[in-house]
Amino acid sequence: MKKPQAYRVGDATVTRVSELLLHDFKTTELIPEWKPELTACFEEWMVPTYLDEAHTHVVISTHAWLVQTPDHTLLVDTAVGNDKKRSIPPFDSLREPFLERLAELGVRPEAVDYVLHTHLHSDHIGWNTRLTDGRWEPTFPNARTILPQRELDRWAERVEKEGADSPKTAPYFDSVLPVLEAGRVSVIGPEGGTALDGFMFHPTPGHCSGHMSIGLSSGADYGFFSGDVMHHPIQIARPEWSSVFSEDHDKGRASRRWALNHAVETGALVFTPHFPGSSAGSVSRTPEGFAWRFA
């Protein structure tokens, strides 16, 4: 595999650690409002990287972002992970060389000193742990994990409702609890705030109620880890279109608009969790909405 592009944000370097490319989602299964007659004008830049040749299926990526600053080595979200039993078929029992890809970037798991989470869905927490002698052990033994408190509360509510043996709560038990039990978790309150020097959590609810995007300031540069405020670049051109993964569509739309305006106003380099291609880019305003330019 070609070495991934490393982006500079001031003193920091940001590099994608790839995991999966999914081609099985129909456009309307991801975004019910998707209509070919409304998207024809975007097909030139979307096909084939983000939309298949037949214009019927989107392409979705799962990956993590590695951030290396002069002081720290950290990951923003940790993708799906290996060996996890999942009810979503493409995420079930993966055997992906994610840690080998990280090693190719010169990073051993022991060297990761922080993991930051936008939210705690199964496709963002998987590599928090790995199966070792039949047990889920923290993959990054020296890392402090920083995450939105509300997301932990949501898992507690879900475990209370569904029980500990449900497939619905498996991601908590295999990918969150082992890190909590290792005593290496710090939480961010509902108002967001600074986590580490230069890293700021911004509440962007909608996809889920505890969801946060993460800004990275370094020198005059700014990076923005959007999280799941959007799942496909069509939602930049059409920010009012929600994906099926949004829990609260109105809040999701408001958060997406906030995030896109924020990206324009700050001149951010935006790092997305599910766009294929380079997964990174910048946003500008258009008369109808916003435009995306891949970096």
Label each residue of 150-200 as H, E or C: HHHHHHHHHHHHHCCCCCCCHHHHHHCHHHHHCCCEEEECCCCEEEECCEE
Separation of first and last alpha carbons in the chain: 19
- Closer residue to Zn ion in complex, CB, 151/228: 228
Minimum separation from the CB atom of position 51 to Zn ion (A)? 19
Inter-residue contact 283 to 270 (CB < 8 Å) = yes
- Closer residue to Zn ion in complex, CB, 123/151: 123
- Closer residue to Zn ion in complex, CB, 123/174: 123
Dump the DSSP string for 13-41. EEEEEEEEEE---BHHHH-TT--HHHHGG
Q: Of the listed pieces 165-173, 216-224, 227-235, 248-256, which binds Zn ion according to CB under 5 A?
A: 227-235
Minimum separation from the CB atom of position 135 to Zn ion (A)? 26
Q: Of the listed pieces 150-158, 198-206, 223-231, 262-270, which binds Zn ion according to CB under 5 A?
A: 223-231
Residue 66: φ, ψ to 5°: -95, 125
Minimum separation from the CB atom of position 146 to Zn ion (A)? 18
Minimum separation from the CB atom of position 119 to Zn ion (A)? 8
Beta-bridged to residue 17, according to DSSP, are 64
- Whether the ω angle into residue 48 lies within 30 degrees of 0, i.e. cis, is yes
Q: Considering the rule CB under 5 A, would residue 123 count as an interface residue with Zn ion?
A: yes
- Closer residue to Zn ion in complex, CB, 91/292: 91
Q: Pick out residues in 125-154 that bind Zn ion (CB under 5 A).
A: none
Task: State the virtual CA torsion across 151, 155, 157, 162 in degrees, nearest 10.
Answer: 150
Minimum separation from the CB atom of position 142 to Zn ion (A)? 26
Q: Pick out residues in 241-260 that bind Zn ion (CB under 5 A).
A: none
Q: Of the listed pieces 42-50, 80-88, 95-103, 228-236, which binds Zn ion according to CB under 5 A?
A: 228-236
Minimum separation from the CB atom of position 158 to Zn ion (A)? 17
- Closer residue to Zn ion in complex, CB, 217/226: 226
Q: Considering the rule CB under 5 A, would residue 19 count as an interface residue with Zn ion?
A: no
Minimum separation from the CB atom of position 267 to Zn ion (A)? 25
3-state secondary structure of 235: helix
Structure tokens at 244: 């099926």
Q: How many residues sit in the footprint of Zn ion (CB under 5 A)?
A: 2
Q: Considering the rule CB under 5 A, would residue 228 count as an interface residue with Zn ion?
A: yes
3-state secondary structure of 149: helix
Inter-residue contact 280 to 67 (CB < 8 Å) = no
Residues that bind Zn ion (CB under 5 A): 123, 228
